[in-house]
Homo-oligomer: A and B are copies of this chain.
Amino acid sequence: MSVERIGIGMLGYGFMGRAHAGAYRTLRHLPAPSPLVPSLVSVCGRTRSAVAAAAEEFGFAGSTTDWREVVADARVAVFDNTGPNSLHHAPTIAAARQGKHLICEKPLGLNADESFEMWAAASNAGVQHMCAFNYRFVPAVRLAREMLEAGELGEIYHFRGRYLQDWVLDPDLRRGWRLNRSMAGSGALGDLGAHVIDLARYLVGEPATVAATMAAFVTGRPDAGDLDEAVDDAVEAAVEFESGAIGTIEASRVCAGRKNALTFEISGSKGSIAFDLERLNELQVNLSGSTNPNLEGFRTVLVTQPQHPYLSNWWPPGHVLGWEHTFTHELAHFLNAIARDESVAPHGATFADGYRAAEVCDAIGRSARFGRREAVSYRALTSESVRTGI
């Protein structure tokens, strides 16, 4: 098999930057590797010494403090945006205009409008685009999707999703960009809620309405600056889906003891499934419709068998995978899509998915603010909007 190198330029070298870089290095050595081998060309960040150290540590050939250099770099074919949310829109659109393939961390833009423009720009440029909703690439989540597609749960009545963390409880926490509204757009909603929304859409379909409330509990950070900039700590929403299913979307960063608890439970006429990211190798499955009724129960499927999604590249049964390989699977999927000139959909999230998640986030925000159930409406990408990007 001939392999070809593809140059990667990255914006951001924090938590997500480290995760993406590790995945690029790892996917080169899978038993069934991508036909495109990532070459880590350049990484960009604000602080010269820190980004240079990151380049060394992550394995990039070079670094820069100006993202325009990455966008203009002819060696770069993929622009991977892992920067703060406020740096998603402009650099990604600029990269699109340079014909770079695009991967951007979630939430796609600071709001639905920014996200729509990013989608339009990517479409206009005719490049590949993926919004890095990495939890679609948890093997147990993909297995859930396959069960749902096969109708194993019957008609779906409920989706209940939560993403709970507790790091904002720390009163001495320094206020990074994730706690700053102008840089993050929102708090728990866009950071955590967006993941729940994307999984809801991936697994159950489009939300139709949301009825929500939000709260900011923890104030007075050491470096809090302008109080108006405080973001939401938690969001609670009742949701109706276009299919008729109902449920909840919840997110909190002040939930003591929950470290990374992205959980969902989906129930239908024939069964239910449940998932918890803190035990990401497991899927809880109840098939009430096709089981000896004496022996019905939620079973813990250890999603590590060779025939499970994404597992053929890994270890014998029971040798569990870590969180980081959501990115290995995701970026391998992205490079395969480029190599085959196919969309990353449906198993990867496109910028269209990123935009739609943003519409749901915005509707939740409006519902919380105005105290009414909000319908979610999605704009279509017309030829006009592709052209103008708005």
Contacts and interface: CB of A to CB of B under 8 A. Distances in A.
A198 B281 CA distance: 26
A196 to B, nearest CB: 13
A252 B212 contact: no
A259 to B, nearest CB: 3
A242 interface: no
Contact of A285 (B255, B297, B308, B325): B297
Contacts of A318: 165, 258-261, 277-278
B279 A256 contact: no
A246 interface: yes
Interface residues of A, number: 97
A208 to B, nearest CB: 10
Contacts of A315: 15, 19, 323-324
Q: Oligomeric state, in number of copies?
A: 4
Nearest to A373: B371
A110 to B, nearest CB: 22
A236 B236 contact: no
A2 interface: no
B294 A272 contact: no
A15 B324 CA distance: 20
A383 interface: no
Nearest to A21: B29
A259 B166 contact: no
The main secondary structure of chain A at its interface with chain B is mixed
Contacts of A255: 157-158, 267, 272
Interface in A355-385: 367, 371-373
Interface in A287-329: 287-289, 293-302, 304-305, 307-308, 315-325
Contact of A367 (B209, B211, B239, B317): B211
A271 interface: yes
A279 B320 CA distance: 8
A157 to B, nearest CB: 5
Contact of A236 (B215, B247, B325): B247
Nearest to A166: B288
A286 B256 CA distance: 7
A147 B272 CA distance: 24
Interface string A193-213: 000000000000000010111
Nearest to A372: B372
Interface of A: 15, 19, 21-22, 25-26, 29, 31, 33, 57-59, 143, 147, 153, 155, 157-158, 160, 162, 165-167, 169, 209, 211-215, 217, 233-234, 236-240, 244, 246-248, 250, 252, 254-261, 267-272, 277-281, 285-289, 293-302, 304-305, 307-308, 315-325, 367, 371-373
Given A256-B271, A256-B289, A320-B322, 12 more contacts: A21-B29, A25-B26, A25-B29, A29-B57, A234-B246, A236-B239, A254-B267, A257-B298, A279-B320, A293-B305, A319-B323, A371-B373
The 7 A-B residue pairs with the shortest CB-CB distance in the complex, in nearest-first order: A260-B318, A259-B318, A322-B322, A257-B286, A299-B299, A297-B299, A211-B211
